[in-house]
């Protein structure tokens, strides 16, 4: 059996004149958390719909947990869980009833259903409010419940479509923590779409960047940062005169230089020793307090990739 | 499949009966229906309510109205409240989802109509029985459950078809209300028919064998229901429903 939970080859989906997913080829390791990054309308949701067999591809092939998306869509849906664009909860029903419904749909025995409800709701901090109609709940609580529903039947793979979208930073961080913990406990493969780069950086083992339906980069957050970023150095201190800055700028190893919040930011042309540059600063009368090598964040990489694609 | 249909039925009835978002929920609505058709109207009409041919027409009309009240919500409501895609992403098959929705509406409309019919018997006997038991004529007693079921199924099949393609519950309800209008077409058409045709029709009606007519109407309803459900099955496409 393949080590990959998801494999796609040249997957494509057209809507009239729009190509929503374009020649997508991906392999996602079983048991990993994969982040699918892209701006709005990049094709993330369409990809999930294709992988769940809810939409037919226009071209290409894909296997999810070894099942073909064209011919074995029911088997895929049987083995997967999903939290799609909307939380999909029945707001007139209570949290308990929402989980009960999906537990019954997945033919989970009554005793196990009750136990599972308690485990999941307790670990998400929702147990005490399980009998309330969820129409009264905050968006963050509903999203947590939707995550519980997606994991309720112990799926081998779970699709989460922008799970923290629209949440305030505290709720988003709380959901992110719960998600990471639950995914680890359950040993489930997670396919997560997001345009929140912090989320991807914190949660994902591997990320793919999609733009206008095309996959433009894939790798671990670390690999992407290394691949796309230039070496950067932050020099904290004072006395960075214009003359010194222009002198530094004329050095061949310096690509760009800028002064922000009292720190001097240097982008270098290659990984090189910064000792000569620091010596130059000190000799020029600057007081250097701290020198720190810095890597570009995933956000920098993402923005660079988007820029390059334009 | 039956287990899954029962699951959908469980959820649908819960949503109808426990509308916790609203004051006292669906139970108030149910009690009003039962009160009007099971107590108030029989008391007003007297033993005629049971002994005349009226109950057969009434208990065929009531499930149509009851089913009409909930079936518009079946797919349009799920779409409007953004729960449809999650349901479609579950392990349930197309047929299970479709039949689950159809059967839920039938169970609701039919069982409520039968409950009202039985309660009206109790009401009539309590108010006018004077020690005797007043009961529906035998053929009517057999026809009531059959026709109320078939009409509930017709309303459910038609409603699901409309709901599948409606963007909102309101739109589905508006389209479905055209079906109510069709029910009243004979009321408007008969008075404007030429006298000769009316006379022929009346003669036919007086001499008609109601058992045969009943069987013919039941067969027509069965065929209509099979047709409606077949069309609904053809129109139920996950691809299309997701994109709608």
Instruction: Report whether A306 contacts A258 (CB < 8 A).
Output: no
Share above pLDDT 70 across residues of chain B, in percent, rounded to a whole number: 96
Per-residue model confidence as pLDDT tens digits over B87-114: 999 999 999 999 999 999 999 999 999 9
Among A13-27, A189-203, B185-199, which range has the highest average pLDDT?
A13-27
Residue of chain B nearest A79, judged by CA positions:
B91
Per-residue model confidence as pLDDT tens digits over B24-34: 556 777 888 88
**Burial group, residue B132, by CB count within 10 angstroms (0-12, 13-18, 19+):** exposed
The pairs formed by B168-171 with CB atoms below 8 angstroms and a separation of 24 or more are B168/B76, B168/B79, B168/B80, B169/B72, B169/B73, B169/B76, B169/B77, B169/B80, B171/B76
- Angstroms from B164 CA to nearest CA on chain A: 16
Residue of chain B nearest A97, judged by CA positions:
B11
Query: In this complex, which of B21, B90, B91 lies closest to A133 when CB atoms are compared?
Result: B21
Per-residue model confidence as pLDDT tens digits over A144-177: 899 889 989 889 999 999 888 777 787 778 778 8
Task: Tell me what the mean pLDDT of segment B53-69 comes to.
Answer: 84
Chain A residues close to B81, C-beta within 8 Å:
90-91
Q: Is A82 on the interface with B (CB under 8 A)?
A: yes
Residue of chain A nearest B10, judged by CA positions:
A101
Per-residue model confidence as pLDDT tens digits over A262-273: 888 888 877 778
Q: Taking the CB of residue A68, how many other CB atoms lie within 10 A of it? A: 14
CA distance A161 to A193: 5
- The angle at the Cα of B105, spanning B220 to B22, to the nearest 5 degrees, equals 150
> Could you give the 3-state DSSP secondary structure of residue B240?
helix
- CA distances to A20, A180, B236 from B233, in Å: 29, 41, 5
Does residue B23 surpass a pLDDT of 60?
Answer: no
pLDDT at A173: 81
Q: Do A90 and B7 touch (CB under 8 A)?
A: no
Strand boundaries in A58-199, DSSP class E: 59-64, 67-68, 80-83, 157-161, 189-194
Task: Tell me what the mean pLDDT of segment A80-84 comes to.
Answer: 92
Q: Is A67 on the interface with B (CB under 8 A)?
A: no
Return mean pLDDT, chain B.
Answer: 86
Question: What residues of chain A, 94 to 133, have a C-beta less than 8 Å from chain B?
Answer: 94, 97, 101-102, 104-107, 133
- Angstroms from A289 CA to nearest CA on chain B: 56
pLDDT at A310: 61
Backbone angles phi, psi at B92, to 5 degrees: -65, 140
Chain A residues close to B21, C-beta within 8 Å:
91-92, 133, 135
Interface test with A, best of B84, B85, B96 (most A CBs within 10 A): B85
Give the pairing type, strands A4-15 and A214-219.
unpaired
Per-residue model confidence as pLDDT tens digits over B118-138: 999 899 888 887 878 888 888
pLDDT at A55: 92
Query: In this complex, which of A54, A93, A106 lies closest to B89 when CB atoms are compared?
Result: A54
Task: Tell me what the mean pLDDT of segment B203-232 comes to.
Answer: 87
Paired strand residues for A235: A264, A291
Chain B residues close to A97, C-beta within 8 Å:
11, 14
- Angstroms from B238 CA to nearest CA on chain A: 6
Where is pLDDT greater, at B52 or A159? Answer: A159
pLDDT at B91: 92
Chain A residues close to B87, C-beta within 8 Å:
88
Share above pLDDT 70 across residues of chain A, in percent, rounded to a whole number: 96
Does residue B184 surpass a pLDDT of 90?
Answer: no
Q: Angle formed by the axes of helices B210-235 and B138-165, to 10°?
A: 20
Lowest mean pLDDT: which of A216-220, B112-116, B229-233?
A: A216-220
Share above pLDDT 90 across residues of chain A, in percent, rounded to a whole number: 31
Per-residue pLDDT band at A70 (split at 50, 70, 90): very high
Q: Do B21 and A97 touch (CB under 8 A)?
A: no
CA distance A134 to A97: 10
pLDDT at A85: 86
Per-residue model confidence as pLDDT tens digits over A9-53: 999 999 888 888 899 999 998 888 999 988 888 889 999 999 999
Instruction: Report whether A215 contacts A229 (CB < 8 A).
Output: no
Per-residue pLDDT band at B20 (split at 50, 70, 90): very low
Which two structure tokens, joined as six digits, stand for A35? Answer: 């982040």
Interface test with A, best of B78, B91, B239, B241 (most A CBs within 10 A): B91
Lowest mean pLDDT: which of A69-73, A103-107, A256-260, B9-13?
A: A256-260
Residue of chain B nearest A91, judged by CA positions:
B21
Per-residue pLDDT band at B156 (split at 50, 70, 90): very high
pLDDT at A309: 62
Q: Which residue has the tokens 């079946």?
A: B74
Which two structure tokens, joined as six digits, stand for A123? Answer: 């670990």
Q: Do B14 and A82 touch (CB under 8 A)?
A: no
- Angstroms from A200 CA to nearest CA on chain B: 24
pLDDT at B72: 87
Per-residue pLDDT band at A229 (split at 50, 70, 90): low
> Could you give the 3-state DSSP secondary structure of residue A238?
strand
Interface A–B counts its CB contacts (< 8 A) at 78
Instruction: Report whether A144 contacts A171 (CB < 8 A).
Output: no
- Angstroms from A70 CA to nearest CA on chain B: 12
Task: Tell me what the mean pLDDT of segment B213-230 comes to.
Answer: 91
Per-residue pLDDT band at A258 (split at 50, 70, 90): confident
Nearest to A62 by CA among A23, A109, A91, A36: A23
Which two structure tokens, joined as six digits, stand for A206? Answer: 């591997």
pLDDT at B28: 79
Distance of CA B177 to the CA centre of its chain: 13
Does residue A226 surpass a pLDDT of 80?
Answer: no
Q: Is A52 on the interface with B (CB under 8 A)?
A: yes
């Amino acid at each position: 059996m393949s080590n990959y939970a998801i494999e796609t080859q040249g997957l494509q989906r057209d809507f009239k004149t729009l190509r929503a997913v374009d020649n997508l080829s991906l392999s996602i390791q079983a048991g990993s958390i994969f982040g699918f990054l892209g701006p709005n309308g990049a094709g993330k949701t369409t990809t999930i719909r294709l992988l769940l067999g809810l939409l037919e591809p226009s071209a290409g092939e894909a296997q999810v947990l070894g099942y073909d998306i064209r011919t074995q869509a029911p088997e895929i849906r049987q083995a997967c869980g999903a939290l799609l664009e909307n939380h999909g909860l029945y707001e007139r029903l209570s949290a308990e009833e929402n989980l009960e419904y999906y537990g019954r749909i997945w033919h989970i025995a009554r005793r196990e259903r009750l136990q599972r409800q308690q485990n999941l709701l307790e670990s998400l901090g929702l147990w005490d409010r399980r009998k309330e109609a969820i129409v009264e709940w905050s968006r963050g609580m509903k999203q947590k419940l939707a995550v519980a529903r997606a994991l309720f039947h112990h799926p081998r793979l779970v699709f989460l479509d922008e799970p923290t979208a629209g949440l305030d930073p505290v709720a988003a961080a709380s959901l992110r923590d719960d998600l990471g913990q639950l995914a680890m406990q359950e040993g489930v493969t997670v396919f997560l779409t997001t345009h929140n780069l912090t989320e991807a950086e914190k949660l994902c083992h591997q990320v793919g960047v999609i733009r206008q339906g095309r996959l433009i980069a894939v790798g671990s957050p670390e690999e992407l940062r290394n691949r796309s970023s230039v070496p950067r150095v932050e020099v904290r201190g004072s006395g960075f005169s214009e003359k010194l800055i222009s002198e530094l700028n004329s050095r061949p190893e310096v690509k760009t230089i800028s002064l922000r919040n009292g720190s001097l930011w240097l982008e270098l042309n290659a990984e090189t020793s910064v000792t000569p540059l620091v010596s130059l600063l000190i000799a020029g009368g600057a007081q250097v307090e701290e020198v720190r090598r810095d890597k570009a964040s995933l956000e920098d990489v993402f923005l660079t990739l988007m820029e390059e694609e334009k | 499949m039956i287990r899954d249909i029962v699951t959908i039925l469980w959820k649908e009835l819960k949503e109808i009966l426990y509308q916790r978002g609203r004051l006292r929920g669906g139970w108030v609505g149910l009690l009003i229906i039962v009160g009007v058709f099971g107590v108030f109207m029989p008391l007003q009409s007297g033993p005629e309510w049971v002994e005349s041919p009226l109950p057969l027409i009434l208990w065929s009309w009531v499930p149509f109205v009851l089913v009409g009240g909930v079936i518009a919500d079946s797919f349009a409501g799920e779409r409007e409240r953004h729960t449809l895609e999650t349901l479609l992403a579950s392990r349930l098959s197309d047929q299970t989802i479709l039949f689950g929705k159809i059967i839920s509406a039938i169970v609701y409309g039919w069982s409520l109509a039968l409950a009202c019919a039985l309660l009206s018997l109790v009401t009539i006997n309590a108010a006018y029985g004077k020690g005797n038991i007043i009961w529906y004529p035998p053929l009517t007693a057999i026809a009531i459950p059959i026709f109320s079921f078939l009409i509930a199924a017709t309303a459910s099949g038609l409603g699901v078809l409309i709901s599948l393609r409606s963007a909102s519950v309101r739109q589905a309800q508006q389209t479905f209300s055209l079906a109510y209008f069709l029910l009243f077409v004979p009321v408007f058409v008969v008075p404007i028919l030429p006298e000769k045709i009316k006379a022929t029709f009346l003669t036919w009606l007086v001499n008609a064998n109601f058992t045969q007519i009943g069987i013919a109407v039941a067969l027509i309803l069965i065929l209509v229901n099979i047709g409606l459900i077949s069309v609904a099955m053809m129109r139920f496409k996950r691809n299309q429903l997701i994109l709608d």
